[in-house]
Amino acid sequence: MASPELYMQRCLELASLGAGSVSPNPMVGAVIVHEDRIIGEGYHQKYGEAHAEVNAVKMVTDNYDNAGELLKNSTIYVSLEPCAHYGKTPPCADLIIKHQIKRVVVGCRDPFPQVDGKGIEKLQAAGIDVTVGVLEAECLQLNRRFFTRVQKHRPYIILKWAQTADSFFAPADGTQHWITGIESRKLVHQWRADEDAILVGKNTVLADNPQLNVRHAEGRSPKRVIIDRYLKLDNSYHVFDKTVETFVFNAEKFDVDDNIKYIQLEDFDNYVPQYIMYQLYLQDIQSVIIEGGAKTLQAFIDAGFWDEARVFTGSSTLDRGIRAPFISGKNESSQTIGNDNLQIFTNNR
């Protein structure tokens, strides 16, 4: 007999397939088991479309003539508490009750106020056996972006930079200098596809004229966020090509030019990271990857306003130049990517 953890692990594998497609919803996977055999599975594939439980049930009803009887004697494993409210789709708790599925195993509760235990309570009130907390830590980790947005009213913040072996970020004159190899750059593009937005400061645009899109990986390009206090950048730069929604935080104006939105901050001397992230939260942006420059990255670090940092160290040296940001956090991992070293830090404050 397979353990509940094995089926929940499959839920997590399925849920992760929704990365980059379901935000601001969470990633969710579901598996339906009858007599130790998986008869249906599904995941939330796209924001606004069917939830994991719906897709799993549909697999059963599409493939078995006696689906009704099978479901009545099955267990459904779900990585996140089934919803209990009407949003873009009907409540999944009602679907489970409708098909009289006898047992539900939940990875973790959903902190979203319209759910937050209500789905579990509804199932239990209908006489369904509910177990909560199987692989809970793993389920919480998978949806850390969603939980951050719901509980902290801001996006999940990922810092990313590359530094030389002697800890420099860029040459002193601010010119472009590649520190990492193609393997690391491909990985960064995959990261971009997984996040809602990418943020850089004005100087990064001036030095690199980056496209800030996804070219070396599969997936959609994130929204762009530019910090340009005095609007020194003109529309000749790639970031203003209007291929994706772009937010420009500045001290000069509120304005909209097609899908470029200028958002004015009245106070550009205090709490800038906090103001920007709250505005992005209001735009339903669930996660942001911050790629530069050094001053912008350090501002978020100094404010303690970050969740995860991904730091590449290349083999080259510069001897002098712009120093890389300094970060203090929990070193979660270190690995080799091509000729580069990648370290992952988390904010333990």
Q: What angle is formed at CA 14 by the lines to CA 29 and CA 114, rounded to 5 degrees?
A: 25
Asked if 293 and 201 touch (Cβ cutoff 8 Å), the reply is: yes
The DSSP result for 260-299, as a single string, is EEEEE-S-SSSSHHHHHHHHHHHTT--EEEEEE-HHHHHH
Helix and strand counts by DSSP (H, E) for the chain: 11, 17
Residues 6+ apart with CB under 8 A from 77: 4, 7, 8, 10, 11, 30, 31, 32, 33, 105, 107, 134
Asked if 79 and 29 touch (Cβ cutoff 8 Å), the reply is: yes
3-state SS class at 185: helix
CA distance 16 to 138: 12
At 241, list the tokens: 């090509």
What's the DSSP call for residue 127?
T
Of the residues 5, 49, 53, 195, only one is catalytic, namely 53
Asked if 253 and 264 touch (Cβ cutoff 8 Å), the reply is: yes
Question: Is 53 among the catalytic positions?
Answer: yes
Amino acid present at 313 = T
Catalytic residues: 53
